[in-house]
Amino acid sequence: MAEQAAFAKMNGLGNAIIVADMRGRTDHVTAEAALALNADPATRFDQIMAIHDPRLAGTHQYIEILNSDGSRAQACGNGTRCVVQALAAETGRRAFTFETRAGVVSAEEHDDGSISVDMGRPRFEWQDIPLAEEFRDTRQIELQAGPIDAPVLHSPSVVSMGNPHAVFWVDDDVDTYDLERFGPLLENHPIFPERANITIARVTSDTAITIRTWERGAGLTRACGSAACATAVCGARTKRTGRHVTVTVPGGPLDLLWREDDHVIMTGPAEWEFAGRFDPETGRWERQQEGAA
C-alpha cells in the first residue's frame, strides 16, 4: 500500500473534481485508484487533477489528469480552476503556470474569486484534432446519429482544445436530445481515433450559447470547460456568434473570450467541498476532520 496523499473534493460549476496533492512523490494515481474513487458516491468525480512537482522550467506544477474511467486526459478547464483555487488558498499566489499533456496552461484568480484559465489556441486541421480521414473544412463534417433519412444529430463542427471535440448545432432545447444514448456512440465513432467529447449546442443570441456535453472518458457532465471553449470558437468560426460569449452548461454560465491572439480565455468559479487522504495505488480514502491539519 502506498503512503497516503492529501486530496480535496471540489467542483467547477458541478463538474466533479478531485485535486490530489502528489507533490514530493514519484508515484502516480493509478487507473485502479480512479475507478475505486469513482465507485464511491462520496468521491465520484469527472476528473482527478493530480498536482506533481514541476518538470518544465518556468512552470509551477505538472498536472496529470485522469477521467472517471481511469483513462488519461489532456485538458480540463474546470479542473484547472479548482487547482488554482486550492493552490491560491495554500500559497497566497494568484497567478500560476502549469504543464499538462495538452501543453502549458496559465491561470489567475481574481479579486471576486472567479478564475480565468488561458486554454491556449484551438486547432482546426483534421490531423491535429485528430480525425481518421481528411476533411478540408472542419467547420462542418459529415457525421450523423439516428436514421439515415432523418438524423437526430448531424454535421458537427470539430476542433481540438488540447483534446478532441465535436459540436452538434441544434435549434431545439438541448435537454430534449438523448445524449446519454448518442454520446457513447459518437464518442467512440471510428472517425475519432482518440475518441471525442460530444456537445449539443443551441445558440440563443450572438453572445450566448447553451450546451450539454458527453465527456470522453467521463460521460454526462454538468460542466466541461474545454467543451465550452470548443463551442465558443466553433460558434465564432461558423459566424453563429461573436468571439466573446457566455456559454451556459447545466451547472451554470462560463465567460469565454477568443482573443485576437488566438488564445481562448475561460472565466468561471470553483467550489471546495471537503478534504481527505487517499491511497494513490488502491483509491482507499478517508475524510479529513474539519479543522484538522
Examine the residue annotation and report whether 76 is marked as an active-site residue of this protein: yes
40, 51 contact by CB (below 8 A): no
Examine the residue annotation and report whether 229 is marked as an active-site residue of this protein: no
Burial zone of 127 (CB within 10 Å; 0-12 exposed, 13-18 middle, 19+ buried): exposed
Widest CA span in the chain? 62
Q: Is residue 50 part of a domain?
A: yes
Q: What pLDDT does residue 113 have?
A: 95
Q: Is residue 134 part of a domain?
A: no
Rounded to 5 degrees, φ, ψ at 76 are: -155, 100
Burial zone of 14 (CB within 10 Å; 0-12 exposed, 13-18 middle, 19+ buried): middle
C-alpha torsion 91→268→217→288, nearest 10: 40
Q: What pLDDT does residue 291 have?
A: 55
Q: What pLDDT does residue 235 have?
A: 98
What pTM was computed for the model? Answer: 0.92
Q: What pLDDT does residue 293 have?
A: 47
The reply to whether 91 and 171 lie within a common domain is: no
Q: Is residue 137 part of a domain?
A: no
The reply to whether 282 and 247 lie within a common domain is: no
Residues 242-272: tens digit of each pLDDT? 999 999 999 999 999 999 999 999 999 999 9
Coil, helix or strand at residue 169: strand
State the CATH number of the domain containing residue 154.
3.10.310.10
The reply to whether 99 and 32 lie within a common domain is: yes
Tell how strand 264-268 and strand 115-118 pair up.
Answer: antiparallel
What whole-number distance in Å separates Cα of residue 234 and Cα of residue 231? 5
Q: Name the catalytic one among 82, 224, 229, 234.
A: 224
Q: What pLDDT does residue 75 have?
A: 86
Q: Which helix (H) or strand (E) covers residue 91, if one does?
A: helix 77-91
Residues 76-91: tens digit of each pLDDT? 999 999 999 999 999 9
Q: Name the catalytic one among 76, 82, 229, 234.
A: 76
Q: Is residue 125 part of a domain?
A: no
* Residue spans of the chain under pLDDT 70: 1, 290-293
Read off the amino acid at residue 91.
Answer: T
Q: What pLDDT does residue 289 have?
A: 76
The reply to whether 183 and 255 lie within a common domain is: yes
Counted domains in the chain: 2
14, 224 contact by CB (below 8 A): no
Q: Which residues pair with 209 in a beta bridge?
A: 203, 247
Read off the amino acid at residue 13.
Answer: L
Q: Is residue 130 part of a domain?
A: no
The reply to whether 148 and 218 lie within a common domain is: yes
The reply to whether 98 and 207 lie within a common domain is: no
Residue 253 belongs to domain spanning = 144-262
Q: Looking at the chain, how many residues does it have?
A: 293
Read off the amino acid at residue 212.
Answer: R
Three cell numbers written together for 214: 458527453
Q: Kindly state the DSSP code that residue 25 receives in the 8-state scheme.
A: -
